[in-house]
Amino acid sequence: MLKKRGEDFDGQQVTVSGSGNVAIYTIEKAQALGANVLTCSDSGGYVVDEKGIDLELLQRIKEVERGRVSDYAERRGISARYVAGGRVWDVPADVALPSATQNELDADAAAVLIRNGVKAVSEGANMPTTPDAVKLLRDAGVAFGPGKAANAGGVATSALEMRQNSGRESWTFERTADELATIMRGIHDTCYETAERFGAPGDYVVGANIAGFERVASAMLSQGLV
């Protein structure tokens, strides 16, 4: 989405909510692409780390020790501070990636993101953005990646596993990652091109909804169900 606007993910300031599997691997990917990830959270509150989240420390605390993000702040040092309660969306950032739970990003939070100059929001969790928040972001011209497209990677990876099983193959991590990247680029391009075709350039919600409908309708017609 950023590249379509003439920008790159490298160097962007990013807020991520959550600290479970989705959030941890969102942070990993964002950092691999050169972003500075400032936040993570759990049900107790959130952490802001100006130096960028130390992924190894976060993984050790959450996946091994089963601790809290407050533990992360205590052990990280002066670059990190813990905020009990609250929300990561109050932290100014270029990109916001809601990766915790349903309806976590409401209209009030979206208004704060817009005031702070957010450029893009992409859903990692299932339906983390309320309809009112989605409308505000779209009306403000923020690039918004709806979850039905943006977090399709999990289902896509399951399909890749099924391909390996049916062919009695075992792929390397690199091959699987390449296959997944191809799928996700295809999803992006389909959403983008569909939105343009229906007179809503740059609106990924329109593109994802219409493209999804067309795929289902085509399959039903092919099966003689309509």
What does pTM read for this prediction? 0.94
Give the pLDDT score at 225.
Answer: 82
Q: Which residues of the chain fall short of a pLDDT of 70?
A: none
Report how far residue 147's alpha carbon sits from residue 226's, in angstroms, rounded to the nearest whole number: 28
Q: Which residues contact residue 22 at a Cβ distance below 8 angstroms, ignoring those fewer than 6 apart?
A: 99, 100, 124, 125, 151
Fold of 3-145: Rossmann fold (3.40.50)
Give the pLDDT score at 226.
Answer: 73
Backbone angles phi, psi at 140, to 5 degrees: -85, 0
Give the pLDDT score at 208.
Answer: 98
